[in-house]
Chain A
Amino acid sequence: DSGVTQTPKHLITATGQRVTLRCSPRSGDLSVYWYQQSLDQGLQFLIQYYNGEERAKGNILERFSAQQFPDLHSELNLSSLELGDSALYFCASSVVGWGAGGSSYNEQFFGPGTRLTVL
Chain B
Amino acid sequence: KNQVEQSPQSLIILEGKNCTLQCNYTVSPFSNLRWYKQDTGRGPVSLTIMTFSENTKSNGRYTATLDADTKQSSLHITASQLSDSASYICVVGRSQGNLIFGKGTKLSVKP
Selected from B45, B98, B102, the residue in CB contact (under 8 A) with A42 is B102
Cα distance A82–B54 in the bound complex, in angstroms: 44
Interface centre among A43, A101, A103, A113 (most CB of B within 10 A): A43
Q: Among A43, A88, A107, A113, which residue has its beta carbon within 8 angstroms of that of B89?
A: A43
Contact pattern, B 1-36, Cβ under 8 Å of A = 1, otherwise 0 = 000000000000000000000000000000110000
Bound CA span A17–B51, Å = 43
Assembly CA distance A44 to B100 (angstroms): 9
**Complex: how many Å from CA A115 to CA B41?**
8
Q: How far is the CB of B54 from chain A (nearest CB, A)?
A: 5
Contact with A along B91-108 (1 / 0, CB 8 A): 001000111011110000
In the assembled complex, the CB of A90 is this many whole angstroms from the nearest CB of chain B, namely 5
What is the bound-complex CA distance between A43 and B103, given in angstroms?
7
Instruction: Find residues 71-111 in chain B having any chain A CB closer than 8 Å to their own CB.
Output: 89, 93, 97-99, 101-104
Q: Output the least CB separation between B65 and chain A (Å).
A: 14
| B32 and A105 contact, CB distance less than 8 A | yes
> Looking at the complex, which one of B43, B51, B101 makes contact with A100 (CB distance below 8 Å)?
B51
Closest to B51 in A: A99
Q: Does B53 contact A (CB under 8 A)?
A: yes
Shortest Cβ distance from residue B50 to the other chain A in the assembled complex, whole angstroms: 7
**Are the CB atoms of B46 and A101 closer together than 8 Å?**
no
A110 at the interface (CB under 8 A from B): yes
Tell me, rounded to whole Å, the shortest Cβ–Cβ distance linking B88 to chain A: 12
With A103-B32, A112-B42, A113-B42 as known contacts, state yes or no: A45 contacts B49, CB within 8 Å: no
Query: Is A111 in the interface zone, CB < 8 Å from B?
Result: yes
Given contacts A41-B103, A110-B43, A111-B43, contact A58 B49 (CB under 8 A): no
Chain A to chain B contacts (Cβ below 8 Å), 16 pairs = A2-B43, A4-B43, A42-B89, A42-B104, A90-B43, A99-B50, A99-B52, A99-B53, A99-B54, A100-B53, A105-B32, A105-B49, A107-B49, A109-B46, A112-B42, A115-B41
Q: Which residues of B contact A (CB under 8 A)?
A: 31-32, 41-46, 49-54, 89, 93, 97-99, 101-104
